[in-house]
């Protein structure tokens, strides 16, 4: 964020000099501002981010598609709406929580919630077939 705040005024000046037309090359200087960090470090970091995405998010979507078949688009849409609502609401709740509880307690609270969510995939692995049998929307092939 700091890099963008520093780069944005410079970018605006280059747009102004170019008759108010975008100058894509003016967005590139932040890419070379930290030469002490060699390119493999961000590549490794991106690998961890990609692995986390695949392990959690992609498998959740695959589960929904496999479970709901012809209703998969609706299931994925519901997942997207829920994630978007939580992504909007949680930051508004976290700031007051950190102010009221302090950094240590608020972080512990969030960590506890994360730990409580750890068994959710295991519960779906154990009770998924039973839940699909009770669902009107899961096709018989996935039951």
pLDDT for residue 42 is more than 70? yes
- Sign of the alpha-carbon torsion through 5, 6, 10, 11: negative
* Domain limits for position 97: 39-142
3 assigned to some structural domain: no
Domain count, the chain: 1
Is residue 49 within 8 A of residue 30, CB to CB? The reply is no
Is residue 28 a part of any domain in this protein?
no
Q: Flag whether pLDDT at 46 surpasses 80.
A: yes
Q: How many CB atoms lie within 10 A of CB 67?
A: 20
Question: Is 15 contained in some domain?
Answer: no
Give pLDDT tens digits for 118-139: 999 999 999 999 998 998 888 8
Residue 29 domain-assigned (yes or no)? no
pLDDT at 137: 87
Task: Compute the mean pLDDT over every residue in the chain, rounded to the nearest whole number.
Answer: 89
Q: Is residue 24 part of a domain?
A: no
Q: Which pLDDT tens digit goes with each residue over 14-35? A: 989 999 888 888 888 877 766 6
How many whole angstroms separate alpha carbon 124 and alpha carbon 133? 13
């Amino acid at each position: 964020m700091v890099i963008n705040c520093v780069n944005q005024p410079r970018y605006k000046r280059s747009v102004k000099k170019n008759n108010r037309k975008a100058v894509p090359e003016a967005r590139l200087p932040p890419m070379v501002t930290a030469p002490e960090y060699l390119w493999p470090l961000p590549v490794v970091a991106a690998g961890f981010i990609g692995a986390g995405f695949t392990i959690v998010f992609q498998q959740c979507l695959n589960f929904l598609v496999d479970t709901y078949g012809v209703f998969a688009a609706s299931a994925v849409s519901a997942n997207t709406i829920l994630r978007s609502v939580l992504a909007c609401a949680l930051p508004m709740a976290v700031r007051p929580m950190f102010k009221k509880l302090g950094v240590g307690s608020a972080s512990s609270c969030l960590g506890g919630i994360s730990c409580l969510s750890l068994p959710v995939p295991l519960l779906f692995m154990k009770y998924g077939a039973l839940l699909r049998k009770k669902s009107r929307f899961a096709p018989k092939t996935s039951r």
